[in-house]
Amino acid sequence: MASLEIITLRVGKDLEVDLLMKLAGVLSNQIFLKEKVKELRFFERTKGSVEMAIALFWREGVCGLKGSQLGERLSAALEEFGSVSHTVWKEFTAPEEGAQAMENE
């Protein structure tokens, strides 16, 4: 199964969103040049504090249980800008019996 790493950066209000967008562009270029990421996406929080999330999509077995080296390096580098959270998600497939039972209801 594939896996997903989500790195969230929460910064103070004094750091502008434009700077986060520039940072995302630099990261994107560097990651695709050097890493074997299946997909890379950036998100910004819709309300409240200034937050950015980086989603790294990996093929099976690449990420591991604790995250990739890339995820660890990104988390460490982003701590300079604010509070960082790094989580790892593993894809799963719902059992067909459950889907069929829901259809029959």
Tell me, what's the pLDDT at 87? 93
Strand, helix or coil at 14? Answer: coil
Q: In this structure, what token pair is assigned to residue 25?
A: 């562009």
Residue type, 87: T
Q: Residue ranges of the domains in the chain?
A: 3-104
3-104 belongs to CATH 3.50.50.60:
no
Tell me, what's the pLDDT at 7? 92
- pLDDT over 70 at 10, yes or no: yes
Measure CA 86 to chain center.
8
- Is the pTM here over 0.75, yes or no? no
Tell me, what's the pLDDT at 34? 62
DSSP codes of every residue in 39-97: EEEEEE-SSSSEEEEEEEEE-TTTS-SS--HHHHHHHHHHTTTEEEEEEEEE-----HH
Question: In this predicted model, what pLDDT tens digit does every residue of 17-55 receive, in sequence order?
Answer: 667 677 777 777 767 656 677 888 888 877 766 788 889
Question: In this predicted model, what pLDDT tens digit does every residue of 71-90 receive, in sequence order?
Answer: 888 888 888 888 999 999 98
Tell me, what's the pLDDT at 45? 79
